[in-house]
Amino acid sequence: MKNEQLENLKERLLKNPKFKKVYEGHDLAFEIGQKIFEARVASGWSQEKLAKKIGTKQPGIARIEGGAVIPSLATLQKIADALGVKLELPRFGAKSAATSYFSPAVASGVVE
């Protein structure tokens, strides 16, 4: 059900030309934000709950998820720890290669 809701949201957002341009451009900040968004939604958490867990405010999470900012490594680690996922090192290679910054922890039961 959550994946269906996520796909419906993605479909609606892609109708916005500005959003679609950024999404298709694979902007690093946006890609990181998208991975955080996906991990948060998979956990069933609100932006507010995640913000409280890492000691920030909801608008900060919204800016990260929206790709407006690139969070520091310390912030990325706090987010990963709060969501129970592993923060992985980025992979360097061809620009078309997909990069996964967050992967589910074995204990979380969330499948990649």
* Domains of the chain by residue range: 2-108
Query: What pTM did the predictor assign?
Result: 0.62
Give the model's pLDDT for residue 95: 59
Give the model's pLDDT for residue 13: 87
- Per-residue pLDDT reduced to its tens digit, 5-42: 888 888 888 898 888 876 766 678 888 999 999 999 99
SS (H, E, C) 13-54: HCCCHHHHHHHHHCCHHHHHHHHHHHHHHHHCCCHHHHHHHH
Give the model's pLDDT for residue 74: 95
- Per-residue pLDDT reduced to its tens digit, 80-99: 999 999 998 777 776 554 44
* Structure token digits, residue 109: 């039961």
Class of domain 2-108: mainly alpha
